[in-house]
Structure 1
Amino acid sequence: MARALFIIDVQNDFTEGGALGVDGGAAVAAAITEHVRRHPDLYDVVIASRDWHDGDNDNGGHFATDADPDFVLTWPVHCVAGTDGAEYHESIDTGLIDIHVRKGQGVPAYSIFEGTTDDGRSVPQALDELEVTEIDVVGLATDYCVRASALDALQHGRSVRVLRNLVAGVAAESSEAALSEIATEGGHVEVSTD
């Protein structure tokens, strides 16, 4: 039995000044790094996801290329592979990350479970190999990718805890709704003990 930390999409395009910047994103990035440094023995593995979209197409309709984005199913171009926007925010200490996951390569993807590790494994494969039964979820954005990742972790039979002081969302109402949904589905929403 092992515990993992999921760091979800703490990338330049999702923090202030990015293509889809979330208010408080930079502060969350710094707080996540501090959390991991303060608790070096809390996690057996730290797994971080990044949107890693193709830049030469609409990514399965994910990018609004012919019309204005609706910010529900279609979005402005963001996190294009190899660009600064797709990189981790500078406050994330990448030396603390054990496994990197890329998602959204040519298709819409919100959950870390839709991605693959740098060595080609699925996230469930990596979790099973490491015997991960408990997952803490932090990152961006609460109401989209954090929500989807936490719900998928629950569906894959893991115990899930979202650390509410280490997430930031697009909007307060939808973020609270996401946290409530996670709790209703059996997850825990707590404040980290830093």
Structure 2
Amino acid sequence: MEEQNYDKLKDALRQMSQYRAPEFVWDRIEDQLEQEGHLHQAIAALTSYTAPDRVWTHIETVLDRETKIRRLPTWGWSAAAGVAIVVTAALGIYQWNQTRGTVSYAYTVEKAVPHNSPRDWDSAEADVQEVQNRYAHFCKYQSQNDADCGLDNELKELNEAKAELVEIIAQYGEDPSLIRQLGELEVDRSRVVKAMVEKIQTS
């Protein structure tokens, strides 16, 4: 039974007509194979590309910036919120003033106090030197308290400061700010000299 069926199968296969694909199918397959071959050749002929260093530096900078933005600490957000609140409040106050139609300004007026020229102060320098000499004599022979003789050192410091300032004025001219500083030094020197005279007179 099995042999009869096998023979029938062989006869049926022999009687079947063979299938032949149309020519355009084989042409299409051949074209695709040629294209793949050209593609592989082109890929093999490609040279390796190395990006410039600046490209990698830019990429690292962008990544670092994104990381810093993602890792912004809580105090950074607090500071940003505080700045936003201050800016909002300032804008609100500005708009409120605009709607009121009034603007207030604050200003100060400083009157220029006339100072004598350094040449005028130099005329009293001989008197200051005389008081200083008498005060030194007082401290050496009459004073019973070392605390009474501290004015001499203070006057020496003021004299040195005055000498430096006078030298600057000689180089750069009688600038109002420099003259003002020199006037303040003269006020301090006058205070110290007056205190020296009082010490000498009360002895």
> Higher strand share goes to which structure?
1
TM-score range, shorter chain: under 0.3
* Structure number with larger C-alpha Rg: 2
Larger RCO of the pair (alpha carbons < 8 Å, separation 6+): 1
Query: Would you tell me which structure has more helix in proportion to its own residues?
Result: 2
TM-score, normalised with respect to structure 1: 0.26
